[in-house]
Amino acid sequence: MRTNYCGAINTHYLDEIITLYGWVHRRRDHGGVIFIDLRDREGLVQVVCDPDNIETFQLAEKVRNEYVLKVTGKVRRRPEGTVNTALYSGEIEVLVVNMEILNASLTPPFLMDDDHISEFVRLEHRYLDLRRPVMQSNLRLRHKVTMAVRVFLDQQGFFDIETPILTKSTPEGARDYLVPSRVNANHFFALPQSPQLFKQLLMVSGFDRYYQIARCFRDEDLRADRQPEFTQIDIETSFLSEAEIMSLMEEMIRSLFKTVSNVELPDPFPRLTYAEAMHKYGSDKPDLRVTLELTELTDIMKEVPFKVFREAAEKSNGRVAALLVPNGGRLTRKEIDDYTQFVGIYGAKGLAYIKINKLGDGQTGLQSPILKFLPEDIIQIILERTGAKDGDLIFFGADKAKIVNEALGALRIKIGHQHGHAESGWRPAWVIDFPMFEWDEEDNRWQALHHPFTSPADGHEDLLQNKPGEALSKAYDMVLNGSEIGGGSVRIHRNEVQSKVFQALGISEEDAKEKFSFLLEALQYGAPPHGGIAFGLDRIVTLMTGSESIRDVIAFPKTQRAQCLLTHAPDTVDEKQLKELNIRLRKTEQPKN
């Protein structure tokens, strides 16, 4: 039997006979003595095969990278001058007494300590990629995070309760993944986008503190921080106010970071209203490490000759804002052109700027193609509001508020991190007072900013029917270093309020009954006040490990095309399976030459 893990051996085990199992990380033949770095999930240990032990030495000559070995040997100190301080086992080595090759290996497509492997190759051979120390470390930390969360919530009286994976398709939100039912022909299950409705039903059922490490599914376009299937730390509780839920969840995240990474997060987390976050940072998930802020200019641009600024300021949903970059006057024309191209990704048609060479010289001390279109008094107000100094640069955004916010918000982060305007460390915050709804120009109707079960803020219930655009909600998001790691709200627990929200969203009474009858009925049977939150486990672990993508913290992820390169899923199925499900496929049109 194995007595120890390879990476867990140190001088405490000197002179002991131990048995190890692992993979050959590297084999080195030093002219008479063969050294093998044996690796398992805990790390490496150096194994020494002496030619005096003829049987093991002959086996060692056959060994190659990624062979699986069983090794029994004696722990001894490494010779002077050969200690490896980078390894936990770096002061010792294991002199082999007996060795067995449990399995051979083909030559792997990459070395396990190679940091420059294409992601395609890594995902295609994920079982090998997961052997790499960095991936082992990532999944180890993920395990520690889930355990820390479970321990905390258990101590706070939460029950771990599973909710269905096969459920009902409902409107709103992203597209559902549909699962055809063989037993109920022409009917479909949907994979859950979240356990939202079931966890609310659990509150009605009297389980006043619920959590689940829940698998969720959304059929949406992907990017680095999204996957078609992902994991939420899903939480719901009854009888707690908005402030009490936030306080408890903040305590959980502080405990998590302290337990797993020995990081002290602030107590309490700062709080920003949604309006303040958009005004200052152009984002509802601001990266507070970046010290740059946006400056509002819409009010002074409604009568300027510069058409781009004036028309944006005159729009009911328009905005003109500025981003001051300290010492930005050093930026080259090429850098400015690159930033102009960057904001174009977010729909911005251009990126106006003013370089401040010398304030004391009036307009001659300024440099910009737009100066001739701006009156002197307006220029002076811009300089005063932004607090510009010699050597600074001011970028401008003018368009619909959504475009300006997204473009300047992204530019703020990019410049902040590229040019030394970002602090190190962890900067969490709560964003609160979200609007209940946002206007969907494509469908010409209101949509829920969070989800349609979010409670309106106190005193805003009457606005749901008359002025839905002004109604605020009891929603709250936790953000960390520019990422939303958790979003939640106090829920609607009264049927009449839920009906008003459905009406504001254009969901007819018939549709509401068809899709949500079980929830609407449950709310009539003594539903308690309740609320909760869902944290993105993948996203939290990505941040904690410093990974570039959530794919690096998920054991078997999908690509950005929602494909598994390892198993080649999704794939076709045979006609017999389709016939059982009463499904006939339409022929895909071939592109014309």
Q: Which two tokens stand for residue 191?
A: 């994979």
Q: Which two tokens stand for residue 505?
A: 């969203």
Q: Which two tokens stand for residue 364?
A: 């001659």
Please state, in angstroms and rounded to a whole number, the distance separating the CA atoms of residues 233 and 533.
8
Helices (H) and strands (E) in the chain, counts: 16, 22
Instruction: Give me the residues paired with residue 189 across strands.
Output: 179
From 254, 231, 251, select the one nearest 243 (Cα to Cα). 251
Which amino acid makes up residue 495? N
**338: phi then psi, degrees, rounded to nearest 5:** -65, -40
Please state, in angstroms and rounded to a whole number, the distance separating the CA atoms of residues 235 and 20.
41
What lies within 8 Å, CB to CB, of 250 at 6+ separation is 267, 268, 269, 430, 478
Burial degree of 575 (CB within 10 A; 0-12, 13-18, 19+): exposed
Give the annotated binding-site residues for ATP: 218-220, 227, 484, 536-539
Instruction: Give me the residues paired with residue 528 across strands.
Output: none
Q: Which two tokens stand for residue 78?
A: 């490494």
Give the annotated binding-site residues for L-aspartate: 172, 218, 450, 491
Q: Which two tokens stand for residue 93?
A: 């080595």
Q: Give the dihedral of Cα atoms 195, 201, 206, 210; nearest 10 deg.
A: 10
Cis peptide bond upstream of 195, omega within 30: no
Give the annotated binding-site residues: 172, 218-220, 227, 450, 484, 491, 536-539
Please state, in angstroms and rounded to a whole number, the distance separating the CA atoms of residues 536 and 528.
26
